[in-house]
Structure 1
Amino acid sequence: MAAFLKSPCPTDIYGYPSFFRKSHEFPTTDRESKMARTSARIKAAEAVQRTKVERDRVEEASRKIVNKHPTKVNAAKGATKVAPRDVAKIPTKEVNMIEDDTSEETDEDPSGMAMEFTHISSNDKDEISAYERQRLANIARNKELMVQIGLADVSSEMKVRRSSLAEQREESRKRRKEGLDALPRRQSRRVQGKDAEFSPAFNLPIVVAANNNDDDNSDDDEEAASWETLASDAKQHLGAFYRGLSNESSVIESSTAAATKYSIDARDVVKALPSRIYSLAFHHAISASSTMLAGIADVEGNFALWTPPVDRSSDVESGLTAFRLHKRAISMLHFQDTSLLSSCMGGIVKRLDLGAADPSAACVVVELDAAITSFHVNYGLSCMLLSCDDGSVVQTDLRQDSKKQQQRYTLHAKKINTVHCHPTEPNVFVTASLDRSVKLWDIRKLKASLAELTHGKSVNCASFAPDGKTVVSVCLDNFVYLHNTSSIVATLPSPQKIKHDNHSGQWLTKFHAAWDPKKLTDCEFVLGGNKRPRCIDIFGTTSPKPRQMLSDDSLFTSVHSLNVFHPVLPVILGGNSSGRISMWRAQS
């Protein structure tokens, strides 16, 4: 290795080590490669230093010639030609120095034809290095080639063109700046000393509309109405529905007909709320006036009650009552016989009395320090289970003081999106979490889960089928999973996977699957999607292909993330991100 470092390093015509361009000549081992690279750097630095010293020596000699023979030097640079008799008075070495500098600096004659001396004397071989001679020869050859092909004139034209373009850009920039300076500067109302603008209609608790089918904009006259007028209209709609329930039993038998065909009509497409739909629910009863009752909520805490007629061809006019029920997004709705339970992301559950029909009298039944993502009322235990964004589940009894009867259990490491109870086993419930898991629990033994179902990504929802034999989960890995829970054991069979686009993005509500409560056998669930043309799918538990795809090119043109079945009627209600609801009815 020492001999290798001390051996002379071959160089190219530019004075650099030749193995800089021949990587295969480097030693093979890492140690030898490192030493070779170090030696190459040293030799390259020495070569550069030698070239610099040689260049300084040549420049010093040129300055001496200029000081000693100024007239002859000017002639060599193109001012006047040097007479032959005067050349003899200049040393040969100095004349050659003048020629070398002229070949690089002359702009008027790139070919160097104006000079009389174009050769390098043999006496200069000791004074000028081989690198310098090669450099000067290359410069002369390149300039001669440029003259032959006519690029010398083109180069000068390009310089003129670039300067003109720069001037044009500068003038354009000045004009734009003058135009901006002429415009008045925008200032906020605070800087101007004016009061802030606000709309008092934002805080109005109730807005009533009758079958608003025209567009997505609410009526200005209705928004400007007073609280007393709106409250009286709300009482009229809700009171009529409630009186119909209490005075005349109109609950009909549930329909279990197979392969129901659905259709949509313009009368069943309504602008219900101003913001993105976040939860939907149907009341299980029918009023005496043959109207249904649906609850709709959005991400801003607005809530609407809609009473469409049971028969599409009926002369009964549907009513829509909307008001501000919560201050934050309403995550869940649930109708009881004469009341409505609603939860919000602010950690509050309210009960609205349908008989009183006074939204301002809605009472708080649960108040937590965490956001409530969903809840489920278990009638077998007369209790409510609430899922929270901190990974906990809260159990509370609605018949007593909720604060005294609350029991909280941390079941997941991250946010729980949904909680749902088993329809026939009141002690069993399922949770779907942001930690990519679905877990089955026994409320009597919460130290460990009954079963854990791992998913590829976050799980939007998980719920039991009406017969309790299947759990459906919607995951962000673009699959819908059907888990067999006919026998709940620690290790469940492999789930059936259905390919489905579940990506909702920032502006859509997460896709949730909803079972048809009317079908206790051969269960079905409905699920929205991103397909084009826009549609909703109805799936069964026996096949990965949808049984029906409900679509309409003219009336159904947006993504409906949430969809629910009516408990007794062949009706499906869906909501989109602009506050619009669409209802599909069974074809007559």
Structure 2
Amino acid sequence: MPIDKAERRYDVKDPFVKLQKIQVQTPLQKQAIGNMRRRSVRIACRPPRQLVTDSTNESSDSEAHVQSKKRRLLGAGARARGQLRNVSPKAGCSPESDPQNQTPYSSLKSRTRAACPEKASITVEVPSGSDSESHSSEDDGSLGPGGLSAYELKRLKNIQQNKAFFSFLNIQETTDALRAFSRKSKPQTQGLKRPQLAPVNAVATRKSLRLQRLDPVEAPVPEQQDFEEEKTLNQSGPIEMVPVNLGANGRLPQSFLDCWNEPYKCANVTQKVNLNGYKSSLIGMTLQEDHVAKVVKNHIFSVAVHPCTSTVLVAAGDKWGRVGLWDVNSDYGDDGVYLFEPHSRPVCCMYFSASHPAHLLTLSYDGTIRCADVNKAIFDDVYQREEPLSCFDFLSKDGSTLIAGACNGNVMVVDRRAQSMSHELLTELDIMVIRTVHVHPVDNNYFMVAGKGSVCIYDARCLKPKGSRSVASLQGHTKTVNSAYFSPLSGNRVLTTCMDDRLRVYDSTRFCLDVPLLASIRHNNNTGCWLTKFRAVWNPTLEDCFVVGSMAQPRQIEMFHESGSLLHTFRGDCLGSVCSINAFHPSRSVLVAGNSSGRLHVFMG
């Protein structure tokens, strides 16, 4: 039985009021009554002479005395009801929490007042302590403004104080600022624009003739249409250099041609550098919003930077044979971007000729090497082969002789001056898959080949059609090596990027069968199948610093010292993707990074 329905009987004797009996039927009710007794709650009655007044001795203050006794009675009753409500709500004994309690609190309060005579008084003795202090305002039975008790008034005061505290913290303003930041519009993409798709005509819904109870129509089955390939493999002959994104009549502007023909300036490469001063210069290289542009349509396989100093000209090759040229400081056409289609397969390697800056040589998996000549406005053939090619480098200072590598492990020496578009020498190496070929910067007779699980250095004078032996070998790689490059000035260091999550630096001062290892840097090179493989490259203006992409969050590009220490991380609000391919300007503090969606990011000092 709920506690508010407990039976109470009062006997009034001579006018004493005494609590005769409280029938308790549950253990929780017994516990509540026990708590009242332990707190020394005593109910006593006043002598009748203090309450009953003689008719002959009535005074003017008798009514006020009776009213004060009523307030004391109501205060004691309220505290007694509070004790009964302190029963655990899990047992269902609280009037507010008991779903079976149909008697509202206000009616119970009025019933309790009606049960007590006007001339009865209840005195309560409570020991001093925290309990007496907490109920001191309730013992007098007085109600505050609006008919609220002292407890309810204190609760409202606490609520107001909490509101004032939270308003002082400015939580709402901070929340609104964060929401506005999250809803900030993305920067507009520069470069190639997404073509507007033509509206597709609605096709009538096919309906079954059988369900429509119609006879089948004996119509012939339509023949399958022969779709032409997107591009023809191994196109022979020169290709006109017309930007496909500018239309059939699009031509390169004269300002772009003038910058393209600017003479090459050699970089001031130093063997040693003050790292503290160099770090401060790297901090000044930032990425601006207008220095990000979509240059090609698919993910980038190769990047090259023109050596001109008046502006920044960048070239990039993508997965489907497209080559994009970007004048960073121009807004002609698609924000200075010009797109060409000289190949049909990934453009995996490209270089500007040091002796002829107007020549851009590109190599593709389709087995061709082409030279982009802006003066003639053509992509001319340099070399063509049926098997896919993977990389090349200049074997001579004037760029007339090339050395190219194929995916099947063959290496070809190509003379650009020959009219046959064939190789002078072809040799089969022990490396199964060739990723990169790099020529020594001082002695052009030596070149390095990186491939599946091995990196070897060969002498071009000792090459044979079969059985060519290496003069040096770089040991320690357990998986495929994505790239291997000599240091830019002396060639005394070799930097390799391997799929075993290691960047290694070797001492190539002396060629021997086992080149000593200087540093091995732990680096996450697992880019997966949807991103271009990482290739760490040297800074051409320094001898001992290199840069590589990173899989870390937030997106960044990392620069290391040859000792393995991290010098700097290139970051920016506009850098939101993994940039696998990176290239430096030959003489300026400019870093160009390409991602797998065809965008280039230019960090400039």
TM bucket by the smaller chain?
0.5 to 0.7
In the alignment, which residue of structure 2 is the partner of 1:368? 385
2:293 pairs with one of 249, 270, 277: 270
Q: 1:536 maps to what in 2? A: 557
- The answer to whether structure 1 residue 453 and structure 2 residue 474 are counterparts is yes
Contact 2:329 / 2:336 at 8 angstroms: preserved in 1? no
Check if 1:307 corresponds to 2:318. no
Per-residue deviation, 1:331 = 1.2
TM-score, length-scaled by structure 2: 0.56
Is residue 503 of structure 2 the alignment partner of residue 485 of structure 1?
no
AA paired with 1:479? R
Q: 1:417 and 1:201 mapped to 2: Cα distance?
A: 27
- Cα distance in 1 for residues equivalent to 2:525 and 2:574: 23
Contact 1:481 1:498 in 2 (8 A): yes
Task: Indicate which of 357, 361, 368 corresponds to 1:348.
Answer: 368
Contact kept in structure 2, 1:309 and 1:317, CA below 8 Å: no
* Match in the other structure for 2:458: 441
Deviation at 1:263, TM superposition (A): 1.0
In structure 2, C-alpha distance between the alignment counterparts of 1:303 and 1:379, rounded to whole Å: 25
CA distance in 1, matches of 2:242, 2:288: 24
1:483/1:492 contact within 8 Å kept: yes
Preserved CA contact (<8 Å) 1:206 1:321: no
**Matching of residue 425 in structure 1 with residue 443 in structure 2:** yes
Residue 566 (structure 2) pairs with residue 546 (structure 1): yes
Q: Which residue is equivalent to 2:256?
A: 241
- Deviation at residue 253 of structure 1 after TM alignment: 6.3
Q: Which residue of 2 aligns with 1:410?
A: 428
User: C-alpha displacement at 1:201, in angstroms?
Assistant: 10
C-alpha RMSD of matched pairs (Å): 3.3
Instruction: Find out whether 1:463 has 2:485 as its counterpart.
Output: yes
Q: Distance in 2 between matches of 1:331 and 1:338?
A: 20
Gaps of 5+ in 1: 1-181, 186-190, 209-221
Alpha carbons 1:255, 1:570 under 8 Å: kept: no
1:302 is displaced (CA, Å) by 0.7
Question: How far does residue 465 in structure 1 lie from its aligned partner after superposition?
Answer: 0.6
Pairwise CA distance, 1:266:
0.4
Rounded Cα–Cα distance in structure 2 between residues aligned with 1:419 and 1:196 = 44
Partner SS, residue 362 of structure 1: strand
**Structure 2 residue 545 is the aligned partner of structure 1 residue 524:** yes
Paired position in structure 1 for 2:402: 384
Change (3 A) 1:197 1:408: closer
Candidates 281, 294, 297, aligned match of 2:314: 294
Q: Residue 192 and residue 535 in structure 1: after superposition, are their counterparts in 2 closer, same or farther (change >3 A)?
A: farther
* 1:495 Cα deviation from its structure 2 partner: 4.0
Contact 2:493/2:508 (<8 A) preserved: yes
Q: What percent identity do the matched residue pairs reach? A: 27
2:587 is aligned, of 568, 579, 587, to 568
Report which stretch shifted further, 489-498 or 260-269. Answer: 489-498
Unaligned residue ranges in structure 2 (runs of 5+):
1-204, 209-219, 233-238, 271-276
Distance in 2 (alpha carbons) for counterparts of 1:304 and 1:380: 26
- Alignment of 1:498 with 2:515, yes or no, is no
- Give the 3-state SS of the residue equivalent to 1:547 in structure 2: strand
Distance 1:410 1:315 in 2: 47
What code does the residue aligned with 1:338 have? A
Superposition deviation, residue 483 in structure 1: 0.7
Instruction: Please report how far the alpha carbon of residue 536 of structure 1 lies from its aligned counterpart in structure 2 after TM superposition.
Output: 0.7
- Which structure has greater helix proportion? 1
Partners of 1:305 and 1:409 in 2: CA distance: 34
Alignment CA distance shift 1:253-1:468 (3 Å): closer
- 1:46 corresponding residue in structure 2: none
Hey, which bits of structure 1, 4+ residues long, moved more than 3 A?
Answer: 182-185, 191-208, 248-257, 314-318, 401-405
Distance 1:405 1:194, change over 3 A: closer
Mapped to 2, the partners of 1:463 and 1:384 lie a distance apart of 16
Q: Is contact 1:205–1:324 with CA below 8 Å preserved after alignment? A: no
Query: What amino acid is the match of 1:393?
Result: V
Partner residue in 2 for 1:393 = 411
Alpha carbons of structure 1 residues 198 and 472: separation in structure 2 relative to 1, 3 Å: same
Deviation per CA, 1:322-352, whole angstroms, max 9, x where unpaired? Answer: 1211011111111122211111001100111
> In the comparison of the two structures, how many residue pairs are matched?
366
Tell me by how many angstroms 1:267 deviates: 0.5
Asked if the contact 2:383–2:423 (Cα under 8 Å) also holds between the matched residues in 1, the reply is no
1:321 corresponds in structure 2 to: 338
